[in-house]
Structure formats: structure tokens, C-alpha cells
Structure 1
Amino acid sequence: MELQRLGTSAKLAAILALSIGLAGCAGGDSGPISFTADRGAADQPFPTNYRAEILAFMRTYLNNPVGVRDGAIAEPVQRTIGGRLRYVACVRYSAKDSDGNYGPAREHAVVFVDGRLDRIIENAAEPCSGISYGPFAELGNLSR
């Protein structure tokens, strides 16, 4: 009885080993499989819906999105972020703090990967250097 179980276990182990070996061949020459599709390629697509994505993000990012002042935005440009070429849109605004007072205008860089909003960089002096801003009135119309 024990020999039959060992035989079955050995067969299952062989099938598992063969399956793992074949799965390794499935990748071909394309490299590892990535679920984020972050190819790190220089041919990043332009984020066509960047204004709407930034507004949706800011609604959740800001503690109090109501009454944002001095909203300004720069059209996305390509910058090297973390060693990879990305589209970056710079945003400048003054929001209410926890006491309801307005602080000085802050500058943030919004990074896009494969045409979609990926993250925000709060200390944006380097990625936003030399950027020309235009009005971003929609930022002042946010609600909770």
C-alpha cells in the first residue's frame, strides 16, 4: 500500500516538474511577464485624458478639495523619472490646510505610465523646472 502511494506521489512530482519546465518556455524571447505593462520604453503614449485624471485624483488626494485657489497646469512633457522616460504634467495650486487657511502655492509633478496616471511627486522642483503653466480653473471647482 505504501509503495502505491509513493508511486503516485512520484508521478505527481514528475508532472509538476514537467509543467514548470514548459511554463518557462512559454515566455519566448519577450522577457519576463509583467502585469503592469510598464515596459520602460521610450515610446510612452501621450496621456490624452490627463486633465480629467488629475482632477479625479486631486479629489481624493486633497484633504479638502473645495475652494482650491490659483490652479495652474502645464501640458505633459517627457522627463526621466527613476531612470525611465515618462510623461509628466506639473500642477500648481493653493489648497486649504486643516485650519481652513490657505498656504502658499505648491507644485507637484504628476507622472504617467502608458498614458495613465501613475503617481504624484510632491517635491517637483527638478521634474517641473522650466515649465510654462496655464490656467487650471477646473481645479477650483472640485467638490467632496
Structure 2
Amino acid sequence: MLVLPLALAACFGSDGGRPSLADAGPQPFPDNFRSDTLALMRTYLNNPVGVRDAGMAEPVLREVGGRQFYVSCLHFAPRETDGNYKGMRERAVVFVNGRADRVVDRASELCAGAVYAPFPELEKMAR
């Protein structure tokens, strides 16, 4: 009787169908990293309009969860809900199977030594 619930639980992940970092194999370079990052940030940011001072680093292989994934670092100043700007944010975008998969908020270790180039597309986002 207990086997069926365990088998069903194994079929349904808590990650909503997203690829698991533990199951990913050797990673291809994310060819469309800029456009994929924009699409992900459009959903990540509460208000994608009015971002300032955006910069992006080229994707590099970094260890995430014990595996190697391409990671691109961002820094930017988002507009807060009150319309003000409160400072720069640094985030890491993790790519799984060549696609932007998730944003890491605590990115200081992943982004150590990142070389940023202007990312004006992030500043021009609309809702």
C-alpha cells in the first residue's frame, strides 16, 4: 500500500517541471544568452520598466549544486515599487541545457571576478 504513494511522489517534482540541476549532463554554451536572460528577467522583476546601469558578463562555467553550468552575472539598479532607486543588485543567471533556467539572488560567490559590459537591452524593457 505504501509503495503506490511513493511511486507517484517520484513522478511529480516540486519544481513545476523545470529541469533538475542534479540530472543535467555536460552543458552546451547558451548561444542566445542575452535574449533568454531578458525573457527570464521580465518575469523575475516586479517592474521591468526603468532599470538603470545594467551590465552583463559573458557566461562562464561555474559550479552550481556540485555540477558545472554556464552562469552569466548581471548588475543593475531596478526601480522600486515606490518609484525610487535604492541601489545596485547583483544576480546570477544559471543556464541549463543552453537555456536560462533560474536567477540566483545571492550571487557574490558565483559572480566573483565577473567582467561586466553594458546591457542596454535590460534598461529598455517594457511590461
TM-score normalised per structure 2: 0.81
Percent identity, please.
52
Whichever residue aligns with residue 52 of structure 1, its letter is S
Give 1:90 shift. Answer: 0.3
Task: Kindly report the root-mean-square deviation, in angstroms, between the aligned alpha carbons of the 2 structures.
Answer: 1.6
Q: Which has the higher contact order (CA 8 A, sep 6+)?
A: 2
For 1:118 and 1:67, locate their aligned partners in 2 and report how far apart those are by CA, in whole Å.
24
- Aligned ranges 1:1-144 → 2 under 5 Å: 36=19, 39-41=23-25, 43-144=26-127
- Which has the larger Rg? 1
Gaps spanning 5+ residues in structure 2: where?
1-17
Question: Taking structure 1 as reference, are residues 60 and 127 closer, same or farther at Cα in structure 2, changes over 3 Å only?
Answer: same
Give 1:117 shift. Answer: 1.1
Secondary structure of the equivalent of 1:86?
A: strand
For 1:74 and 1:108, locate their aligned partners in 2 and report how far apart those are by CA, in whole Å.
11
Between structures 1 and 2, the one with greater helix share: 1
Question: Taking structure 1 as reference, are residues 36 and 96 closer, same or farther at Cα in structure 2, changes over 3 Å only?
Answer: closer
Gaps spanning 5+ residues in structure 1: where?
1-34
What is the count of residue pairs matched by the alignment?
Answer: 109
Contact 2:24 2:97 in 1 (8 A): no
